[in-house]
Amino acid sequence: MNNAVDDVVIVGGGLAGTLTALELSRRCAEASITVLTASSLDVCASMMAQGGMAVPRVDRADDAEVHVADTIAAGNGHCDVDVVRSIIGDAPRLVHVLETGGVRFDRDVHGAPSYACEGGHQCARVLRASDATGAHVMQTLHAELRRQRNVRIREHCRCMSVRVRPNHVLLSCMNVHDGDHIMLTARSVVLAMGGSGQLYAHTSNPPTAMGDALRIAEELGLPLRDLEWMQFHPTAFATSTCSGTAPLITEAIRGAGAWLRNTAGERFMPRYDARAELATRDVVVAAMREEMEREATDRVWLDCRHLDRQHLVAHFPTFIENCRALGLDPTVDLIPVRPVAHYQCGGIAASIDGSTSLARISAIGECARTGMHGSNRLASNSLLEAGVMAMRCAERLAADIAHPTMIA
């Protein structure tokens, strides 16, 4: 492998970056690929995804169109319909690629996919691996990534700036342990750097989600779009110890029947929306904010006391464990929750295959803006978008490597 000039440097080791590296490696065994991560490989938002990946149900022929309709409704009419249709249309291929790579989504006793329900979905269509879907997917893919002979993984190496030269790209990076400057050169760079939740007081995002991709893109002159649409997730733990990155409580718990109560004890969501706790996130968060403002408090309460303990233990072990760590028992106690900055719907203007207005720079996953999410992402559509973008980006980069004149 040529260490001097990589064919591709991928900045970010979440689902988007990792799957691009794997798919590119599979297609071009001779390509030299570097994956850079600002922390260790396992520190990424994908790893923390609890709920899962929304896909059209295999047992309902019309579900792809219903999934498209739900996505557009959640995005409040600001989605790009062709993009939504194209990404959802590629969901079966993504599931196949992930399962071929060793990912095991939950199945029911008959061996059929077991789907969870989340806000804004007209039916249960979220594939999951218990309530630690991201951890399972990423641990599986990262193990595979570490086996690739043509992929070099550089952890704790934060990309500070990117400059495009006529025939290559320069990446100026910092070793986060000792501050040493590291210069990398690549024929092509993929920005897969996640979001910017750490710019907010409370977030579900990992410490690396500082908006670096936006700064780098701005310096490169890449257009940024829809940055005002930061999505807040309704339910993160709201104890005094949960500042910075707060543990999330998956929306699938509300899908399983949990309610939200104000401090007076009222189940308030039915007053705001007929879908109650399963309204889209923007609606639930707006209702929570109104209740918190009226009661002059910074939290509302998640009520799971009426849910079956066995079901909770079997399907939400991460939630139970996080409750236990805070001295709470969800079958007895109300759980304090508040909204946290969760997902950057806008970002670097990019096509589904990650191409941007600069031939040698791609942007994929949360740092990119394709038009899939509009002003409010439908629950569990992020792993879907990241995975489909990764597959298509890898296909395009493989074609570029096979025909180098295509990117002059």
Q: Which positions touch ligand SIN (CB under 6 A)?
A: 49-51, 250-252, 379-380, 382
Catalytic residues: 281
**Closest alpha carbon to 35 in 17, 48, 15:** 17
Least distance from ligand SIN to the Cβ atom of residue 332, Å? 23
Least distance from ligand SIN to the Cβ atom of residue 171, Å? 29
- Choice between 10 and 379, CB closer to ligand SIN: 379
Q: Torsion over CA of 115, 46, 393 and 389, rounded to 10 degrees? A: 40
**Are 342 and 204 in contact, with CB atoms under 8 Å apart?**
yes
**Closest alpha carbon to 74 in 61, 84, 64:** 84
What region does 205 belong to: left with phi over 0, alpha with psi -120 to 50, or beta? beta
- Choice between 195 and 336, CB closer to ligand SIN: 195
- What is d(CA 270, CA 251) in angstroms, rounded to the nearest whole number? 17
Least distance from ligand SIN to the Cβ atom of residue 252, Å? 6
- Choice between 50 and 356, CB closer to ligand SIN: 50
**Closest alpha carbon to 68 in 54, 48, 58:** 54
Q: Using alpha carbons only, how large is the chain's radius of gyration in Å?
A: 21
Strand 6-11 relative to strand 33-36, pairing: parallel
- Choice between 38 and 384, CB closer to ligand SIN: 384
Least distance from ligand SIN to the Cβ atom of residue 406, Å? 35
